[in-house]
Every structure is written in C-alpha cells, then in structure tokens.
Amino acid sequence: GESVGLHLPTLSVQEGDNSIINCAYSNSASDYFIWYKQESGKGPQFIIDIRSNMDKRQGQRVTVLLNKTVKHLSLQIAATQPGDSAVYFCAENMGRGNDMRFGAGTRLTVKP
C-alpha cells in the first residue's frame, strides 16, 4: 500500500529559508530510496538517491537523510528558491522485482 498518507501534505516556506520534506516508508527490507521533484504538468525528475548502507547523502543544495530505525527519509533543501516549488516524492525499492513504490508526495510552495 501507500507508504505515506493518502492526502497530499503541503509545506510553505519563505524564499531563502531551508526546507525539510519528510517521508515515512513501509518496508524494512527496502534498500534503495530516491527523491523526485515533479513540476506541474510534467513527469517527475530525479533529485537524489541513497542506499541503505548510508544515512546521509549530499547533493547541490539538497541533502537526504535516512533513519532506518524508524523507517524515515527526509529531503533538506538549502536556501529554497521559487523554482523549488513543486511536488516532491520519495520512492523506495520494495525489495522485489521492479517495484519502486512511491509515496503520495508533498507540495512545496516557496513564498517570495
């Protein structure tokens, strides 16, 4: 089933502030996770990934944190910009076949 709630959570931040988007995943056997960004009317785009042998990975302005103990994943965006406004999805490798299971997403709105 869905690894996060059915309704799309929203997060509103001021331009320049840091954003933290959270995701709870369902399968303790999942060993690979991806964050995607989806702008309105477009397909999702890869942001950053992390494997379960790591607890932190950094990219350009983004950091993903993985807490396997509580099955929690977060995406931190530094100095959030208006172009960061989008829906952000986490996806987990369910450990079987080709099943990357997506969460419901979080809508990030950046206020100027």
Partner 1 sequence: SQTIHQWPATLVQPVGSPLSLECTVEGTSNPNLYWYRQAAGRGLQLLFYSVGIGQISSEVPQNLSASRPQDRQFILSSKKLLLSDSGFYLCAWSVFPNTEAFFGQGTRLTVV
Q: List contacts with partner 1 (CB under 8 A).
A: 2, 4, 6-8, 32, 34, 41-46, 49, 89, 91, 93, 97-105
Pick between residue 18 and residue 46 the one whose CB is nearest to partner 1. 46
Instruction: Measure the CA–CA gap between 87 and 42, rounded to whole angstroms.
Output: 11
DSSP H helical ranges for the chain? none
Three-class DSSP category at 84: helix
Closest approach of Cβ 22 to partner 1, in Å? Answer: 14
Instruction: Measure the CA–CA gap between 90 and 34, rounded to whole angstroms.
Output: 6
Closest approach of Cβ 73 to partner 1, in Å? Answer: 14
Pick between residue 4 and residue 66 the one whose CB is nearest to partner 1. 4
